[in-house]
Every structure is written in structure tokens, then in C-alpha cells.
Structure 1
Amino acid sequence: MNSDLRASALVAGMSLLGMAIAAGFSYGYVHGNLVIPGDAGATYENIASSAPLFAAALFGWLVVLMLDVVVAWAFYVFLKPIRPRLALLGAWLRLAYAAILGVAIACLFVSSLLASGAVDTSSFPPEQLHALTNLFLEAFDSIWSMGLIVFGAHLWVTGWVSSRSNRIPKLWSILLLIAAVGYAVIHIGNAFLPSSDRIVAALETVFMVPMVAGELGFGLWLLFKGGKLSSAPAQAPPTGGPVA
């Protein structure tokens, strides 16, 4: 049992670190530098002149998507001994998020095809082509934002299950729960309150640290400590009520 837990912890930890690197490159570096908010023409020219870089970013997103599936499995195996049904729910929520992310990535792929000249766009006037490319980029942001609401639900379940174990430090459980709230309120605001930019920006400032430190810190703990032999019981004693 401990060997399975240690293996799943290692897989989860390495996958989370790999996702952080891939997402940092694809979204933080490439998307952040090539996509100019409010300027469809400049964005189009940036992508068209940096087609190999944008293609590399797409590959990075595919890596993130595949690692999300791996993490869903690894979290389930690691958390199953604590609360099996909730661990399964957490895994399904992460898989649902991964499916939504896949749809969003497809929008990026269409933008890449339009800007790189891989498809015949001669029938589109330049301004229309720029607007169409930008439309798919905005669709990526909107769809991914909706998916991050589901991701927040996944983090909430993961944090709650983690909090029921005496082998997992409470710090990570608390950070995961705070990060879950952050993802939910920020992206619900993005999706349903389009005029609340200032409020969303303020929420991002408040929740940024736990959102980054929650899952990444938990991933580092899993990588170096998770599943190792411990004299502590696997889960906290029940305090009453049904066991999930």
C-alpha cells in the first residue's frame, strides 16, 4: 500500500511541476507576449511572425492537458485511502476541467491556422481576418475561465480530503481550500460579471499567493514527502456524521 501511495505521490508531484513549467511557457511567456489585448491587428501580426513559437506554446498546452489527466489519476490513488468516494469525485472534476481545457486549446489551434497561413484565408479582408483570429483567442480565454470554475471545485474536494488525513500537513489543505475559493470567485466574476474588471483584479491580487502556492506547494510536498512511511494514522479520527 505504501509503495502505491509513494508512487502516486511521485507521479503527481513531478506532473504538477511539469505543468507549472509548461503553463508558464505557453501562457506566461508566449501568450503574454504575443497577444495584445484590444489590438487584434498587432496580435495577428505577432502570431503570424512567430508561428513556430506559437506552435511550441500549443504543444505546451497539450502537455498540460495530458498531465492534468495523469494528476487526476495520481490524486485519486493517493487520496483514496482517506475518503474513497470524495477522492473519486475530485478525479472526475479534474477530468471534466481537462475536457474543457481541451476545447479551449482547440480555439488556439484555429487561431494558429488563421494567422500562420496554413489554411486559405485569401477570401477574408485583413481586418476581418484579424478580428476572426482574435475571436478564437478570446474564446480560448472565456472557455478556459469557465473550466477554472470546475478546477476550483476539484481543489476544494482535494483540500477537504487532505484535511482529513494526519499524514498531510494542514498547511497544504488550508492553502488548497483558499485557492479553490480564489479560482471559483475570480472566474465566476469573469464569466458572469463582465463589467467587474476592477473587482476581479482585486480578487486576483488577494488570492494570487494561495492559488500559486496551494497546488504547487502540495506538489512539492508530494514529490519529497508524500506516501513515505509514517507512524501517524492514515486519516483523522471521525468527528461524527457520515464518512464519504
Structure 2
Amino acid sequence: MNPRHLSRIAGISYVIIFFAAIFANFFVLEKLLETPVETVRQDQVMVRLGILAFLLTVVFDVIVAWALYELYKKHPLSGLSTSFRMMHAAIMGVAIFALPMALTSTTESEILAIADTFNIIWLIGLFFFGIHLILLGRIVKTPRIIAFFLMVAGVMYMMDTTAHFLLADYNSYKTLFLALVAIPSIVGEMSFAVWLLLKGGRN
């Protein structure tokens, strides 16, 4: 498979991950946290679709990892970068196992405990994903602005996970950390996805 095709596969997979993650996280998981019992009883189809969307993010995460490795395998850091992304995908897959149990739970405390378990495991995975992004920024190099935002996003993912476990009053800073992670992540990863679709693999 030529580099241009690999680049398009990675770009398309990135876009699918982006929209699937937004739907699963902000339209399903957040709703489950706000109104646990009502969501499970009245919107079971939505919860099931959210679980499916999370599964799709894992599938396409592996595809992105493979495509980027094939594109940049001559770089000495490519194998290491791919390994950290695969670690993230594997941990995310484990986290998803918790969510179907919410469908049979009847109390708010049970549902929230399941959502918390998912979030904690996911956060651990994001720490390794952050390392992947830092390495990816070193590997890509050009366009430099995209590489810069990828590395900044990676650092922010690692800082956010660390803060979750070290700060007893993390919720007081939750909005700040969300912004610190979301802005460089969206700018860096979506810009990279667009670049992969339009220009990646040409050289």
C-alpha cells in the first residue's frame, strides 16, 4: 500500500474517532453521569449506541496506529510511539467492559460507580496516549505547528491524568484542565487529520 493511501486511511480513521468520541463522551457518558437512573431506564438505546461508539474509537485507534507506523516506520521512534498508542487502545478496550453493566443496574450509586470505573481506567489509558502524541510530534516534524500542538496535547493529557490522582480537590480545577487538554488536542489532532487527508504521504 502506497504512502498516500496509508495517509488517507489514517486521516479518515482520525475523523471517525473524533466524532464517535464526541458522541459517546458528551452525549451519552455525560448524560449518564447527570441523570443515571433516568438515562438507563428511558434512553437505553442511546447508552447502547454510546458503548458502540466507544468500541469504534478503539477499532479505529488501532487502524491509525498501524497506518502511522507504516508511514513513519523508518523513524527510530515510530515503533515506540505505536506501542504507546496500542497500550492506550488496549486499556480503553478494558474500560468499555464496565459500561454494559450500567444497563442492568437499578440504583444511582451503582451506575455512577460503573461510570467512575470506566473513567479511571480511561484516564490511565490517556496517560499513555499522551506519550504517544509527544513522540508523534517528534516523528512528524512538518508541518511544525501541527507537530507542536501534538506535543503540547500529549503533555496536557499526561498532566490531566496526573492531576486526577494527585489533587484531592481536582473538581475545583476540572474546567481549567478540560480546556488545557481540549484546545491543543482538537487543534493538533484535527489539523493532523486534515493534513493526512490532503497532503500526507506525498513525499
TM-score (norm 2): 0.93
> Which of residues 41, 45, 53 is equivalent to 1:52?
45
Partner of 1:241: none
Q: Deviations over 1:146-180 (max 9, x none)?
A: 111111001011011112xxxx3111110101111
* Residue 192 (structure 2) pairs with residue 218 (structure 1): yes
What CA distance in whole angstroms lies between the structure 2 residues aligned with 1:193 and 1:100?
Answer: 23
SS in 1 for 2:98: helix
Could you tell me which amino acid in structure 1 is paired with residue 100 of structure 2? F
> Which of residues 115, 119, 126 is equivalent to 1:137?
115
* Residue 187 (structure 2) pairs with residue 196 (structure 1): no
Could you tell me which amino acid in structure 1 is paired with residue 139 of structure 2? V
> Which of residues 162, 174, 185 is equivalent to 2:140?
162
SS in 2 for 1:35: helix
What CA distance in whole angstroms lies between the structure 2 residues aligned with 1:6 and 1:111?
Answer: 42
Q: Which runs of 4+ in 1 moved over 6 A?
A: none
Could you tell me which amino acid in structure 1 is paired with residue 118 of structure 2? F
- Once the two structures are aligned, what percentage of the paired residues are identical? 28
Partner of 1:240: none
* Residue 151 (structure 2) pairs with residue 177 (structure 1): yes
What CA distance in whole angstroms lies between the structure 1 residues aligned with 2:27 and 2:174?
Answer: 22
- Alpha-carbon offset, residue 207 of structure 1: 4.1
What CA distance in whole angstroms lies between the structure 2 residues aligned with 1:196 and 1:30?
Answer: 23
The change in CA–CA distance for 1:20 and 1:205 in structure 2 (over 3 A counts) is same
TM-score (norm 1): 0.78
- Alpha-carbon offset, residue 7 of structure 1: 1.4
Partner of 1:27: 25
> Which of residues 63, 73, 82 is equivalent to 2:66?
73
Partner of 1:93: 84
The change in CA–CA distance for 1:75 and 1:35 in structure 2 (over 3 A counts) is same
Could you tell me which amino acid in structure 2 is paired with residue 93 of structure 1? F
What CA distance in whole angstroms lies between the structure 2 residues aligned with 1:112 and 1:16?
Answer: 29
Q: Deviations over 1:53-95 (max 9, x none)?
A: 11011111111110011011011111113x1x31011111111
- Count matched residues: 203
| Bigger radius of gyration | 1
